[in-house]
Amino acid sequence: MCFTVWDWQEDRQRVLREYDSLTWKQSVAVRSSALMEDTAAQSFAGKYESFLNVCGRENFMLAAEKVIDSYEDGDTANQVLVQPMLNQKNLWAGVAFTVDPNTLGNYYVINYSMTGSTSEITSGSNVENILYYQFKGAEDENSPAEMQKLCKALQELEQFFGQENLDVEFAFADNHLYILQVRSLCIKEPPASLSRQKQELCRIRKKIWQEQMPKPFLCGQKTVYSVMTDWNPAEMIGIRPKPLALSLYQEIITDSVWAYQRDNYGYRNLRSFPLMVTFAGLPYIDVRVSFNSFIPADLEEELSEKLVNYYIARLTDNPLKHDKAEFEIVFSCYTLDISERIQILKNYGFTETEIQKILHALRNVTNHIIDHKNGLWRKDYEKIQLLDKRYHEIMGSGLDDIGKVYWLLEDCKRYGTLPFAGLARGAFIAVQILQSLVSCGIFSKSDYELFMNEVSTVSSEMNADMKELSRNAFLEKYGHLRPGTYDIASLRYDEAPELYFDWEKQEHMHNQPDKEAENNADIFRLSLTQLNDLKKKLDENGLANDILELMDFMKTVIEGREYGKFVFTRNLSRAIQLIAQIGETEGISKEDCAFMNIRVIYELYASAMDVKESMLYSIRKGRHACEVTNSITLPPVITSPDEVMHFFYPDSEPNFITTGKTSGPVYLLETMAMHTSNDLEGKIILIPCADPGYDWIFSHKILGFLTMYGGANSHMAIRAGELGIPAVVGVGEKQFLQYKQAVYLEIDAQAKTVKILR
């Protein structure tokens, strides 16, 4: 039933007679339908009043009056809609888009709640909603029956209305599908090319299908792909990186450096296996390759095969653990509680003999790594320090800019990311051992936090230096950092210092007491009982039993990892800066250079090719590829080829840092543009990833922060723990989008909850 404002004002009795004659008036929805509402240009969704579950004539009249009162333009042609309410059992409802409004990809994007309320989806108030994607060109019939039915209805609606951008509210009640409302979905540009997108997705599906079989020199019957399982590309370069950032990450880490480090440290030799693959420009970790690299080199082949298959099966069954697989699925080192944790293998067909062989191999590789005298972590620390000396040699040489970029990156690999990867491996083992001390009852949680607080990192030094050093001296030391470590468009600290730091406030604070130091006044100490218990536990487990050496190892590698990252990023950052300068000389903007592949620089260094022509050719290819990249959505974990075409987007299981609790207004920091110290102070900051370049936020008095991507062992997680700032790292894309809509959030790290207060 529908009527206009004029009908209500001039002939209300006729409208009421029509209402009285309805056979379904027991419970109705009285909804707005203004002329300005739901147009092709703007939806005004939620601007006007609507009322659900309206019962009785008096309530109907009151609801109609309130809907009409909410119309502000006075146009009597505005309408009011009346619909029957669905009150059946087994009701669930949601909203479907017939194009992805964020990427303009050709997807049916379906968001629903099992509570039966579409308002919980439109308001974003229900964090337990389910998100489903189905590509419009999908031809298979393996999707859930309800989704098949809904997608066919959406296709019918597109044909009926003659447009492909619809916003549809729907409900399922007792297995019957009801369409409640259809409006135009406002998009600024036409959707991406369906045929091109289908061609690309079919290639990706075929590639993944081909990979689901055994491979020479690799354990495991099949593979899984993830954006966060190892070296965390989603955290470091994002899920849709530009070609320059993507190719830089491949060049200096994931193509070969990563495997050299694992081999050097006593794990399986995976050299020549790239760790990261790309699907239409979206970076994914080949999880089978990653899991192979955590197998000790001296573990027999048959048992290694069985172990990798177990790891992949566990991740397939628990995809939410993809960003914490090494903590919760993989056994990559020996810890003081591993004898208990590894018993889970008995539930998956491992014998006691096999378990003991695995423990023996893990013990050997761990002792090899943590060895205080001969451990490779010592040499890696020295290599990192050598990088600083060589940096100045390169920059002071007579090389042209292309030559300098080449050697900065080559040195970055040999003396930067390779030893950094070793220190990072040592740091991971250190954190695992520390956590096992807590689970064994030797350390309390506060002991663990005190130990981490006393770890001196570059980040803690930066806060102190901000107060002590002159502006020029500070930027000389830290100026190479940038929030997007691999992103040429991300400004370095020394390129836009006012953007990142409030210098006036820092100058005022020079003479103020160090409250951070006061807050961290407690000192980590081992009691005599703890010393004896730890010595006994180390002896029992056959681990290197010099406690002082073990403590030194753990502290040094955790500090060394952060120092290594700080040093190697200077080479990387300077190389990126020089690439921008080369582009500028050739009349190519920094923004255009972001679409270039770094291999162009390598080709130019080893040839006499035309610089401008070579760069522009690469940029054109990159732009063309990014058109597809930006329109494609894939799940964060791909366990089967079918998931390329349709998938449920999983809820992320975030990492809560500290046991603190805080609440406050939200500040979104997706870009670096236009913010001041006042913007950040006293707020909960939302940032896309746990990139160390965002460390500058700690120079402001923030209440806490959340990141879309990032692991429990990421830089920002460690920094938050060090400063005692409540944080949630790696909430996932779906949750992050919901928190972006909030005005006020509460983080309770101990309870592991984030609440939207407003």
DSSP 190: P
Residue 163: partners with Cβ closer than 8 Å, 6 or more residues away: 184
Which listed residue (322, 480, 646, 715) is catalytic?
715
| Angle, CA of 25, 30 and 35, to the nearest 5° | 135
Q: Cite the beta strand spans of 55-161 per DSSP E.
A: 79-84, 91-97, 107-113, 130-135
Close Cβ partners of 239 (under 8 Å, ≥ 6 residues apart): 227, 282, 283, 636, 709, 733
β-pair partners for 84: 28
Q: What Rg do the C-alpha atoms of the chain give, in angstroms?
A: 29
In angstroms, rounded to a whole number, what is the distance separating the alpha carbons of residues 252 and 249? 6
Between CA 103 and CA 125 the distance in angstroms is: 23
Tokens 């080192």, residue located = 333
Closest CA to 203 of 191, 192, 195: 195
The one-letter amino acid at 235: E
Give 288-313 as a DSSP string.
Answer: HHHHHTTSBTTS-HHHHHHHHHHHHH
Whole-angstrom CA distances from 61 to 14, 392, 424 are 13, 80, 68
433: Cβ contacts below 8 Å, ≥ 6 apart: 333, 335, 336, 550, 554
What values do phi and psi take at 240, rounded to 5? -130, 65
Nearest-angstrom CA–CA distance, 500 and 172: 50
Annotated active-site residue 322? The verdict is no
Q: At what angle do helices 611-629 and 194-210 cross, to 10 degrees?
A: 90
3-state SS assignment for residue 181: strand
CA distances from 525 to 519, 522, 529, 551, 554 (A): 17, 9, 11, 11, 15
Quick count: other Cβ atoms within 10 Å of Cβ 318?
Answer: 14
Question: Which structure tokens are listed for 372?
Answer: 């205080």
Active site residues per annotation: 715
